[in-house]
Chains A and B, each alone.
Chain A
Amino acid sequence: MQGMRQAELAQKAGISASYLNLIEHNRRRIGGKLLLSLAEVLGVEPSALTEGAEAALIATLGEARAADEFAGADHEPPEDFAGRFPGWAELLVRRHRRVLELERIVETLTDRLTHDPHLAAALHEVLSTVTAIRSTAGILADTPAIEPEWRDRFQRNINEDAKRLAESAQTLVSYLDEGAEEETALASPQDELDAFLTDAGFHFDALENGGAGDIDSILQRTERLQSAAGRVLARQYLERYAEDAAAMPLAATLTALRDTGADPAVLARRFGVGLPQVMRRMAALPQAEGAPPIGMVSCDASGTLIFRKPIEGFALPRFGAACPKWPLFQALSRPHLPIRRLVQQDMRGREAFLAYAIAEPVSDPDFGQVPLFQAHMLLVAPDPADRGQDDPDGLGVNCRICPREGCEGRREPSILTDGF
């Protein structure tokens, strides 16, 4: 700490040395007046003393406040609240996330009732048949002297319609039953895949030695994949994982990484494979066996994130679109061109990362077919040499929580009026 002894700092800040020790080791949350006085004693900005985790917490608090139309502008800044009531702040953040999740479910269900053509057709069939039955039964009940031939005819019609109604009702019920399984999942298929991969640490030992046959048992063991769509996504992921593992065996890849560093192009040449495959493989290496922390995101041609492996110090948006200044999106506009940039998110506690990005077509080239591209971006800690070269490119997570001023990429105003 800039040459100052811990005891001296604690004394100047008016706290005990043991309490300061807890703070230093992230076992006590720092905030409010204490944060300010420690920063003053040390002669640094208060933001220099807090971690990325807190920045994320504060960002979500800011979002929660912005989402509430009744929240007054005179509320204390999220930083103060998080500093003074860390437990409550975390609770509020968890509640806010839950609200977003539930809103998404409501949206999905509402959408289904209005736009599901199968459901609309099935209901229409039921209502039409009920109408015919009701009208015909009314005639039989209300026409005292009905001719026998009409009576027979209407009875026959009712019988037909009753059968039809039974069938339509059964179809409708079984259709809704099928759907019910999907809806027990409280998240999108992509969220399920994220949870599944996070549980596994993005690494599957069983697929490392030509074990593609183990995909079924991996899928059976997890409870994260509730929906059929989630299981399809996971199966696709695991099948590709097995191919990547066969092309770049674990031990050889770890050795190569140690020998040559984390440059995907170098590894691609060494193993004779494409850059996207190297990036996927690097993101699947187990840290337990000495691989460095590696983050990765992929998007499709619409810019939608289809794969997210987080890395501490670089936030990925959970909902909505990401920052358009990410090299990931630059790659999408210049397909096949490998891009390497030093980047840093403009938020407290963020670190600089080396970003490697490339966009490649999803399928083999074909005359008469316009290729569809996917882009991939790998995030690794920069070497000291990279770090010193240039200032990193400043970029954000997404516009809502980005304090950057005068950004030409801004889609909407930031909720962080005070900035970080």
Chain B
Amino acid sequence: MGKHVLVIEDEPNIIEAISFILSRDGWAVDTHSNGHDAVDVVRAKTPDLVILDVMLPGKSGYDILSELREDAGTRNLPVLMLTARGQTKDRELAERIGASRFMTKPFSNAEVLEALRELVPQ
């Protein structure tokens, strides 16, 4: 069984595509599409890595990341943030809160795979 990744993203077709490529790359994939209880889901599923969209219904990716970083159990969990805004200040904000990587939409499948492999060596 490969490493466990949790994809938190609200766009169904993006979830489907990412799930497909990650599964084919050997990852065990879980998905969640709501920001509101995303922190609880992370705690419950204890993934090796989280892919986290910024714009989510219920709670923003930044808020979710802040909560994860405050919790000792998830403080060092690798988190790859996805955003549709590529402005410097968004990137800076993500880094300040503690994102392990930051990726701007639209990204290529190869970029995502490469980033994941760097964050969690297989």
Residues of chain B with a CB closer than 8 A to A160's CB: 13
Interface contact B84-A161, CB-CB below 8 Å: no
Interface contact A131-B109, CB-CB below 8 Å: no
Please tell me if B108 contacts chain A, counting CB pairs below 8 Å: yes
Stretch of A133-141, A293-301, A409-417 at the chain-chain interface = A133-141
Question: Are A139 and B17 also in contact (CB < 8 A) when A124-B55, A124-B84, A127-B84 are?
Answer: yes
Interface contact B84-A135, CB-CB below 8 Å: no
Please tell me if B106 contacts chain A, counting CB pairs below 8 Å: yes
Interface contact A131-B20, CB-CB below 8 Å: no
* In the complex, chain A residues 137-162 whose Cβ is within 8 Å of any chain B Cβ: 138-139, 142-143, 150, 153-154, 157, 160-161
Question: Are A132 and B14 also in contact (CB < 8 A) when A127-B84, A138-B108 are?
Answer: yes
Residues of chain B with a CB closer than 8 A to A128's CB: 11, 14, 84, 105
Please tell me if B96 contacts chain A, counting CB pairs below 8 Å: no
Docked complex Cα distance between A127 and B109 (Å) = 15
Please tell me if A100 contacts chain B, counting CB pairs below 8 Å: no
Residue of B nearest to A153 (CB): B16
Docked complex Cα distance between A120 and B55 (Å) = 11
Residues of chain A with a CB closer than 8 A to B106's CB: 127, 130-131, 133-135
* In the complex, chain B residues 71-88 whose Cβ is within 8 Å of any chain A Cβ: 84-85
A313 → chain B, closest Cβ, in Å?
Answer: 49
Interface contact B105-A150, CB-CB below 8 Å: no
A159 → chain B, closest Cβ, in Å?
Answer: 11
Docked complex Cα distance between A120 and B18 (Å) = 24
Residues of chain B with a CB closer than 8 A to A407's CB: none
Residues of chain A with a CB closer than 8 A to B21's CB: 135, 138-139
Docked complex Cα distance between A132 and B13 (Å) = 6
Please tell me if A123 contacts chain B, counting CB pairs below 8 Å: yes
Docked complex Cα distance between A30 and B105 (Å) = 65
Q: Which of A142, A150, A161 contacts B109 (CB 8 A)?
A: A142
Please tell me if B24 contacts chain A, counting CB pairs below 8 Å: yes
Q: Total interface residues on A, using CB and 8 Å?
A: 22
Proximity string of chain B (1-45) to chain A, C-beta cutoff 8 Å, 1 when within and 0 when not: 000000000010110111011001000000000000000000000
B31 → chain A, closest Cβ, in Å?
Answer: 14
Question: Are A131 and B24 also in contact (CB < 8 A) when A136-B13, A157-B16, A157-B17 are?
Answer: no
Residues of chain B with a CB closer than 8 A to A139's CB: 17, 20-21, 109
* In the complex, chain B residues 90-122 whose Cβ is within 8 Å of any chain A Cβ: 105-110
* In the complex, chain B residues 33-79 whose Cβ is within 8 Å of any chain A Cβ: 55
Q: Which of A123, A124, A130, A135 contacts B17 (CB 8 A)?
A: A135
Residues of chain A with a CB closer than 8 A to B107's CB: 131, 134-135
A285 → chain B, closest Cβ, in Å?
Answer: 54
Residues of chain A with a CB closer than 8 A to B24's CB: 143
B94 → chain A, closest Cβ, in Å?
Answer: 16
Residues of chain B with a CB closer than 8 A to A157's CB: 13, 16-17
Q: Which of A123, A132, A139 has the most CB of B within 10 A?
A: A132
Docked complex Cα distance between A142 and B84 (Å) = 24
Interface contact A123-B84, CB-CB below 8 Å: yes
Residues of chain A with a CB closer than 8 A to B110's CB: 138
Residues of chain B with a CB closer than 8 A to A120's CB: 85
Residues of chain B with a CB closer than 8 A to A143's CB: 24
Q: Which of A132, A134, A153 contacts B11 (CB 8 A)?
A: A132
Docked complex Cα distance between A130 and B17 (Å) = 12
Interface contact A135-B109, CB-CB below 8 Å: yes
A171 → chain B, closest Cβ, in Å?
Answer: 16
Docked complex Cα distance between A157 and B14 (Å) = 10
Interface contact B105-A127, CB-CB below 8 Å: yes
Residue of B nearest to A141 (CB): B109
Residues of chain B with a CB closer than 8 A to A123's CB: 84
Residues of chain B with a CB closer than 8 A to A161's CB: 13
Residues of chain B with a CB closer than 8 A to A136's CB: 13, 16-17
The 3 nearest A-B residue pairs measured at CB: A135-B17, A127-B84, A132-B13
Contact sample, A vs B, 13 pairs, CB 8 Å cutoff: A124-B84, A128-B11, A130-B105, A131-B84, A131-B107, A132-B13, A135-B14, A135-B109, A138-B17, A143-B24, A150-B20, A153-B16, A160-B13
Residues on B lying within 8 angstroms of A by beta carbon are: 11, 13-14, 16-18, 20-21, 24, 55, 84-85, 105-110
Residues on A lying within 8 angstroms of B by beta carbon are: 120, 123-124, 127-128, 130-136, 138-139, 142-143, 150, 153-154, 157, 160-161
Contacts A124-B85, A127-B106, A132-B13 aside, 19 further interface pairs with beta carbons under 8 A come to A123-B84, A128-B14, A131-B14, A131-B105, A132-B11, A132-B17, A133-B106, A135-B14, A135-B17, A135-B21, A135-B107, A138-B17, A138-B110, A139-B20, A139-B21, A153-B16, A157-B16, A157-B17, A161-B13
